[in-house]
Amino acid sequence: MSNPPSASGPVAGQPLADDRRAPTEAGQPTYRRKSFPLRITDLRCAIIGQNPVVRITTDAGIVGWGEAENPKHYLKPHVEFYKPYILGEDPTNVERVMQRIRRIGSFKPWGSAVSAIEMALWDIAGKAAGLPVYKLLGGKVRDHVRVYNGGVRFPMTGSSPQDYADDVARMKASPERFSIIKSSIGFHSATLHNVPNMIYGEVREGFHHPNRGPLTERGLKHIIACVEAMKAVLGDEVGLALDCGPGWLPTDALRLARAVEPLNVMWLEDMLTGDYTPYVMADVYRDVTHATSTPIHTGEQIYLRQNFRELIESHAVNIIGPDPADVGGIAELKWIAEYADLHGILMAPHGIFDGLIGLAALVQVCATMPDNYIAFEYPVGKPAWWYDIVDGLPDPIVKDGLIEVWDAPGLGVELSPDRASAYLSADDQGFFD
């Protein structure tokens, strides 16, 4: 695990030096403010472990890093598609560069390439200015950002209420001391395969949550019993959020929401649409949300602010959860958070698969969000050797459910070419050249 970055960063206005990345004692480069304009000289993508990693280089020697969700190995050619659109542009004019590529993306997973490129642009802009990205996004609102547990997981042997109780007990005992834990139930879990007669109709096999349909009475009662078992373990010490779908029909969604009202769960997520669903259905969400006191949440698959407009303006949900690796990047996420706050909608960003560079991006942007911010979903490095190839992260990363916002320039983390090269595939050997 790398050491925390030094709090003593470069002095604003320091002249451009010949050695543009002077190493600190800890080996972490200290970025000085650069002469402008900079120019993008290359855009590359490699699959490192399970995550697509974006590397943007400049004529000033500054490198920007971005990361997409795992396992999206198929994104590499999609990232490379955008190369001719951005070569020669000044990466510190982030919005101008994004206007060239933003319109050529779509809902998850096809907004991921655009989003990872945007992260890398902000990384460069911060390094060029000698400032953490949060300073470029308006400055910190909070010194610590709360996270909820998404990535720290343990194998489950079944889908009984006791299995769910045991699972959240392990998560509650984890050293991060999360104050909010999310558990997957219903259509977003293995329950349909492990418990007979959960739904009317055939249970489909396959990836990306292929099932949708009406629950049986037995199915609904089983899910409610699992929620009750988890709350019995967590009590009022740790909040329980539920990742439910997509796949629910509105009548069943409302039955569950009303049944768990006494349990004070944090939210029910993605019941009607969600992961890999290329549409929003705000009007249907609104019918459920306005008929229950249980908070309703959605948004991880949605691309761009325009596709959140109806959800927010019609108060179709109580909480939205864009993912910076899918929505169009971190500035897009900040814009949506501000607009949601104007309408009384809460913000709990998705991020479980965003990796360690994505984690750094989430810390930077969530530090700047208004008071409607709850927590972001904590991602982990997979495989575990990711922690050996990234410099700049604190150790431990999470304390009492919080991450202290660091002040290193850019996103504040660096991928080590020397250590990461060992994990490159044959096709990606030139990634760090």
List of long-range contacts for 231-236, beta carbons under 8 Å, 24+ apart: 231/263, 231/265, 232/165, 233/165, 233/168, 233/169, 233/172, 234/168, 234/172, 234/181, 236/264
Asked if pLDDT for residue 12 goes beyond 70, the answer is no
pLDDT tens digits, one per residue of 255-292: 999 999 999 999 999 999 999 999 999 999 999 999 99
Given this model, what pLDDT does residue 208 score?
85
Confidence of residue 71 (pLDDT cuts 50, 70, 90): confident
Share of the chain above pLDDT 70, in %: 92
- Mean pLDDT throughout 191-218? 92
SS3 sequence of 241-261: EEECCCCCCHHHHHHHHHHCH
Asked whether residue 189 carries a pLDDT value surpassing 80, the answer given is: yes
Q: What is the mean pLDDT of residues 125-143?
A: 98
Q: How confident is the model at residue 363 (pLDDT cuts 50, 70, 90)?
A: very high
Mean pLDDT of the chain: 93
Topology given in CATH for the domain delimited by 136-412: TIM Barrel (3.20.20)
pLDDT bucket at 25, cuts 50 / 70 / 90: very low
**The pLDDT value given to residue 207:** 86
3-state secondary structure of 224: helix
Mean pLDDT of 70-80: 93
The CATH class, in words, for 21-131+418-428 is: alpha beta
Q: Domain coordinates of the chain in residue numbers?
A: 21-131+418-428, 136-412
pLDDT by residue (tens digit) across 377-418? Answer: 999 999 999 999 999 999 999 999 999 999 999 999 999 999
